[in-house]
Structure 1
Amino acid sequence: MNTDSSQKPRFVHEVSRLNGSNIPELLAMAAGDKKFFWFGLNYVQVVRLDAAPHFAARPLSLSGNWHRMRLESTATAFNGQRWWYVCPECGKRSAAMYWSPDKLACRKCMGLRYQSQYETFSSEFERLCHRVRKERIAIWGPNEPDVEFLMRKPSSFKRPKGMRKKTFRRKLERLQALDALWSGVALRHLNSWTDGE
């Protein structure tokens, strides 16, 4: 695990990865098959070692070191199964494998962080604005006109096509409670500006 605190944090969106969408391709490979998986301009070469889901992966690098990697499944509801990567470093299941020129590992072993873990807000007001916008976009999407205009009440937007009425009501009620909280904080925030005059 990356413990160097002087190094700036690296985020998951900055690093190449194999994710869940690559698993069907990996499982379809026969023993001995080789395949390249691209992520932007970087790639990893994967070789299936045997009939069990065991693989060797070699990221694009000058060293050309191979790393062992395997897949594991867990049972889901209705007799289904979900496949996971097993991290070669810690042995834990992971939804994605990240690679650098000399390493293939899970997010934690690579020392990667999510951008949202480092978001800083100077006030409760900014934090609430961000939460309300995020909830609105989760319901109506980023392309809905005025979705980020917080003065427009959530009840003025139509139910998104394809969303169940019950789901929409539940999400809308949660958003309206958050919006009411935001309104109170916004009023205090505006009053703090006028009190200073």
Structure 2
Amino acid sequence: MEQPQKPPGFLEAYTKRATLYRVPSSEPGVVTSWWICHSDAHSDLVLSLISISQLREDFGRGAEYRRDADPFSLRRGPSFKQQLSDYLESSGGLDTRQISHIVVVAWRSRIPSRLKGERRAYLARPLAVIPADLVGMTFAWAAGDNYAIVIVRAMAKRTLYLAPARYQAWVDLVDATDWLALLESYALKAFKGNHVLQPRRQPR
């Protein structure tokens, strides 16, 4: 396993062959990320939690958007609000008023492919980009990102502990994961079974 020169973040959990880190980020919109470094993988698996409200706020103050790690394209500028609406519309008519977060799951290379300005750029292979309501009913909005963090952390830990059968590879199990179904299952658990993960606009 190619070990990084230093841990990417705070140790959360580990197995004999893999380690889960929680990685804080100052990138626009990113609440936090979880990295799984596994001895059977040539890349690290990254689960990023992006807050829509934080993304709007960061863009509003002129923060630069990272283009390397997220497999959807949003550019800072006057048209950001429309871009975001168009992106959510392309996801099947989601009710944009109810979408609180976007969960991104991607493989991230361990070796930078090039320099981008003054920083290194890493290749990312997306597995899932899921806009969702991870805040829940009215009473939960005061909790901010707390529910979302619990849900995505549970997804990361479940993925860390995936145990391949004989002649299976951990990487193949990750690639075959239904991330939307997994996110929904943990959201339903967090909200006690009464939750709509991706609210749709009601036809007029």
TM-score clears 0.5 = no
Shorter-chain TM band = under 0.3
Of structures 1 and 2, the one scoring higher in RCO (CA 8 A, sep 6+) is 2
TM-score (norm 2): 0.20
More helix by share: 1
